Each structure stands twice: as C-alpha cells, then as structure tokens.
Structure 1
C-alpha cells in the first residue's frame, strides 16, 4: 500500500499521510503533508506522473565494466564460454575499455565488422563473435541494466553467410582417392575419414597421445581445446603397424633432395599439395580435405541417429554447429516415406473410390 499513516512510538498514528513505493528500481518515500486520504492519494498519483514524465537520468557504464558484467551474468554460462570470453576481450580492446556504451552507434559497429573481416575470418564468425555478441550485450544493458543505448539497425551490419556445405565422400570416391594417395600418406587419409579429425589434429597426433590399453586417443583442436576419442578396432589396426620414427604418428619418406630416403613428419603444405593432386588424378569433383571430416560425421549420424554423439566426435561446443549434418536423417526419413509412397498413388485412390461406389450401388 503506497499511502498510509505512520505509527508513533506510543502506538498512535500521525495526522498526515506518508507514501512509500518503487518505480524503475528506485524507492520513493516521504510525507504527503496531507491529512485527507483522498488528497494524499492525489498527491502520490501526481508524484508518480512526474516521475514517469521526468527526463530519465542516463547511467554511465564503460565497455570494460559492461564486458565484465556480461561475462559474470551471461557469458560464462554459454556453451562456448571460452570463445565468448575471447570475443568480449576483442570487442573491449577495439572499442576501448573506457568507451561509454551508451555512445556506441552504427558507425562503431561498421568499423568493428570491417576490422574483423580484415582479420580474414569467415562471415559467420564475424556475425557471431562481433555483431550478434555486441547486440546481445547492448540489449542486456538496455533491458536489464537500465542503460540508455543508441538505436542501431543491426540487420545492416550482418554479413551474408554462405549456405552450409556438407560434402560426403562416396564409397567409390573413397576407393578412387585412396588408390591415388602414396602409400606412406594413405594411413593419414584413412585416419581422417574414420575419425573425423581435422587436418591439423591429424598432423599433431603423437604416440604419447594414444592410450592403447584403454583404446582411446587425444587430439587438440581449435583454441587449443583437447578431446579424447574412443579408438575402434579398425583405427587401432591402422595405427599399430606404423613406424615409430618420430614423436608424431604420421610420417612420410622424403623422395628427393639431400634428405631423400629419410622419414619425417608430414607437414601441412606438403599434405595439401599431394591431396590436391590425388583428387585431380582420381577425377573427384569439389573435394577438400575438410570433407573427410564431413564424411565421418555423416556416416556416424546415419549409423547411430544421435546428433549428440556426432557432436562429441567432432568436438563442437555448440550443438547448433553440428545440426548441419541433420540432413542425413532427413534424407533417410524421406527415403523411408518414398518406399511407402506407391500405396498412396492416384491409382490406389481411384481403386478405393470404385470399391466405395460399388458398395453403395
């Protein structure tokens, strides 16, 4: 109740009415100086109107403080919390930690997007780690922290993202590719197809990362994040015979130059060149090394029908990143529906109609 008479120490009530209410997170209390209840209520009603219509005092918050608060309240609970922390730090550094967030406008956003594009990252990464994250932060500042922020047309700053690509290697293409890969590099290609590991994860795999007893191996992917993958019998049979010529698992024999005949670790550029040539010789259209990872994921999903299992294999923090493979189960469902389609053909309906007509006659 916002209007009342205070009690004195002797238990009696004061002659004038007081008020006590909260507006926009602020508590207002005092005396109306009115002895009439109706007059006191009019006083409070007028006071609330004046509070509502008064120019709102703008709170000040720096970008540094906003990032810290956003991290504590929201960011640390994201599925990809480490990525969020990195992106928040980048936003703070590029806007300036002392910048008043109420002064951030469309020009600032445009500069951030241009700078991030200059880093050479994909449009989707720019959208997620820059534009959408800043929009989320400023929206929270406005709606939760009660900070006046600028109106920004966010849609104008979102970059067009290419349609998600999932290229699965067919069994015939796999056989043709492996036939064109030189013998000492073939285990690495097969390993990528079987495990879904990224190219760099394959190259960095060391013998010490393999737990033969528990049949598992550990790889380190993007952002130096490690994950442990169970080792199937097929993968074990692939790795076990390989020569222990180096700390790294995958090695090759140098064919030319002064190091000819020596076994060395497979390096990124050499693998890229050989893979591209093998794809050309095998006459496979539109195939990249990363498509071997897609192949492993789609085959696993088709087998287990569990997107969470695929997420664990690929090491995705966000399940939304993995859902691009859901087309596999969609296709399986479509094929299953097609198999029962003929029973619903127009001819079947015509036959049913004739039966009904005959029964009526």
Structure 2
C-alpha cells in the first residue's frame, strides 16, 4: 500500500517477505513521508540481508563526541568551533538519546523553522544546515548511518543584501568609544581586512617589521591558504603599539587584561561599541567590508583586491565592487564638468557648427 493520509498524519503500510510493517510518520509533508517510507524499507532490507551483522546505530550525543574528536585532529579551529556549537544545539533540539538512524528529514525541517522563528538570518541558518549536512555525510561514510536524513533538505533563499561598510565619520565615532585594546583591533581590521579569526589568531611571528609585512597563517585562514600584506606607516604604528601591549602573550592583539581575545568577547565588545557610537548593531566583519570598499573607491583593480582579501574566486571580490553614494555623486559631477557643452538639438552625434562654416554659409547666400 505504501503511504496514506488519515486526518493530518501520514501512515505507512507495506509487506516484505510475508511480514507486514505499519506505523505513523505524524503530521509531516507528503514528500517527507515518502522519504521516510524509503528509509523504512531500506532498514528492513538491510536487516534481512545482514541479520548477524546488523548493528545498533549510535546515539546522537555519542556520535557527536566521536566526530568532534576527529575534527580536532583534522579540521581548522574555526571549523571545529562551528561544528561543536551547531551539534550542541541540534542535539539538544532533537534529543541527545535519539539514535542517528532515528533522525529524519522532518527533524531538519523543524530545526530550520525553529531557528528562523528565533530571528536568525537566512545566511546563518544555511551555514548551520551545511555544517549538519557535512557531519551526517561523514557518519554515512563511516558506516554509522545507511541513509543521510538531511540530503534532500533545501537551504533557505538568501537574497544578497547591500554590503554595509563604515564611512569616515562613522570610523571616527567608533574609535572614539573604543577601549585602547579594542581600538587596536579596529585599526588592524580596517587596514588589513582580516577576518575575526585571523585577527585574534595573529601571532608574533606573523609580523615582520624588518620586511614590512604581516601574514595570515594557513591554519587560521578561511580558505586554508596563507597570505601576506605589506605594512603601511599607519599600520606599522598600530602594530608596534600592539606588540608593546601584548607583553608575553602568544598573540599580537590582546584584551584589556593582556590575554588573547576570544571570538565571543571580541564580537560582543565590538557590537556594544557600535551601538554606543550610534551606528547600529554591527558585527566585526564590517571592518573587512570597509577595507575592500575603500580599496575599490581608491581605484585599486579587482585582481589586486582579490589577492589582498584572500578570495579564491573573483566572484567573491565582485561583491565589494561598489561605491558609496558620495563617490558616485562625485563621479557624475566630474563627468558633467568634463563634458559640459550642450548637445545639439537635432541629433546627439551632429557636430556643433563652427564660426568658419557659419561665415561660409553667409557668403554663399
């Protein structure tokens, strides 16, 4: 029979080798019920083929511990942090005692809805979904799961928003309310375009005052590739001040206590400073947006901007190929000042009559 609807719930009913299997999927969409039916049949088939080798699927919390142990040894710190945070939330949501093979596509859909109701942005929800998809794909690859429950779950539509960057006035107001420790981070972020993880992970050996360069280690870069930027006079002064303040710390940028910044502490203090400056509740990534936007407005070509930003593809850099309204207005004023002669009334390509031609016409007349 397959699946059928009774009231608001979907039920399944099928026979395999003389044994009848019936049950309910609950009030789920029809597409989810069909996927669950396929999972049920696959589970029955696997048990029939390998009854002696049939293993009980691990609990979600147990697998989470195993996965994070593997991730610590094989992934970048930022990836581990994201996986740990997402797994903790998802495990608490579906229940830590639930087994891997009991997680359904409907659990993923409910997770999406709950996160959206919590006010999370589509981009944030999609990042969490991709993290969960990757984790469950690894469970399937390790033989702990026969079917990936989130394989068919779609990401949310995420319209590209206008990129926010700081004006010069906003920069002045922000720096005025920052503590000395936070002010150093803001300066370095504006002058290098480093991401948050790259800023808090900047080590003493990454700064070479003799060669005049500052580098991002590959293990802390988002794309896994190191990059090196030249140090200008303003950035040199900021880094020298930061190196003096860091003392014996392992990182260049430290908090007010002389300790390395944590992601959450730095993000929270920066957001509070933005609110105090009256420029809105902004995340630290606005410094990176500002760096790229100012490069563009200064006339730096996109290829150079791509290299300085550490983008693998030019498509990412094109997101920053925009100008501020003031810059556009200035460009239009320059255009009008350069080509200010009025256009002929007859046709825009008709050359204006010269005095010599006018004299010829009068003589001929």
User: So what's the TM-score if we normalise by structure 1?
Assistant: 0.50
Name the CA distance, whole Å, in 2 between partners of 1:279 and 1:329: 20
Structure 2 CA distance for partners of 1:280 and 1:344, relative to 1, 3 Å: same
The structural deviation recorded for 1:240 is 1.2
**Equivalent in the alignment of 1:171:** 168
Q: How many residues align?
A: 223
Distance 1:114 1:209, change over 3 A: farther
Q: Which has the larger radius of gyration?
A: 1
Match in the other structure for 1:318: 313
Aligned to 1:216: 213
Q: Structure 1, unaligned stretches of length 5 or more?
A: 1-85, 87-109, 132-153, 255-262
Q: State the secondary structure of the residue aligned to 1:213.
A: coil
Instruction: Provide Cα deviations, 1:34-59, integer angstroms capped at 9, x if missing partner.
Output: xxxxxxxxxxxxxxxxxxxxxxxxxx
Residue-by-residue CA offset, 1:113-167 (whole Å, 9 max, x unaligned): 9699799965777999999xxxxxxxxxxxxxxxxxxxxxx9x957422214321
Quick one: distance in 1 between partners of 2:213 and 2:338?
A: 48
* Residues 1-361 of structure 1 aligned to structure 2 (within 5 Å): 122=124, 159-219=156-216, 220-242=220-242, 243=244, 244-254=247-257, 263-285=258-280, 287-328=282-323, 335-341=330-336, 349=344
Give the C-alpha shift of residue 277 in structure 1.
1.6
Q: Secondary structure at the match of 1:287?
A: coil
Instruction: After TM superposition, give the deviation of residue 311 of structure 1 in Å.
Output: 0.7
Instruction: Give 1:206 shift.
Output: 0.8
Q: Say which SS state the counterpart of residue 308 (structure 1) adopts.
A: helix
Cα gap change, 1:344/1:276 in structure 2, threshold over 3 Å: closer, same or farther?
Answer: same
Q: CA deviation at 1:285?
A: 2.9
Alignment CA distance shift 1:288-1:253 (3 Å)? closer
The question of whether the paired residues in 1 share the 8 Å contact of 2:166 and 2:290 is answered with yes
User: How far 1:223 moved relative to its partner?
Assistant: 4.7
Q: Is the 8 A contact 1:164 1:324 kept in 2?
A: no
Question: How far apart are the structure 2 equivalents of 1:181 and 1:329?
Answer: 25
Q: RMSD in angstroms over aligned alpha carbons?
A: 4.4
